[in-house]
Amino acid sequence: MNAADENVTDMPWYRWYLEPWRKYAIFKGRAGRKEYWVFCLVALFNAALFLLLTQQEDPPGGPGSWVNYLGYLLFWSSFLLVVGGIIPACSVTVRRLHDLGMRGWWLLLALVPFAGWFALWVYALRNSQPGTNKYGPNPTESPSSAPV
- Distance between start and end Cα atoms, the chain: 10
Residue 144, pLDDT above cutoff 60? no
Say if residues 97 and 104 touch (Cβ distance below 8 Å).
yes
Q: Where are the domains of the chain?
A: 11-145
What's the confidence (pLDDT) of residue 55?
A: 72
Longest C-alpha distance within the chain, in Å? 59
Say if residues 94 and 104 touch (Cβ distance below 8 Å).
yes
What's the confidence (pLDDT) of residue 71?
A: 74
Please compute Rg for the chain using Cα positions: 18
What's the confidence (pLDDT) of residue 96?
A: 96
Query: Tell me: the pLDDT tens digits for 48-83?
Result: 887 887 776 665 556 666 667 777 787 888 888 888
Say if residues 49 and 41 touch (Cβ distance below 8 Å).
no
- How large is the angle between the packed helices 115-125 and 86-99, nearest 10 degrees? 60
Q: Does an H or E element contain 126, and which?
A: none
Bigger pLDDT: 29 or 140? 29
Say if residues 27 and 133 touch (Cβ distance below 8 Å).
no
Say if residues 139 and 35 touch (Cβ distance below 8 Å).
yes
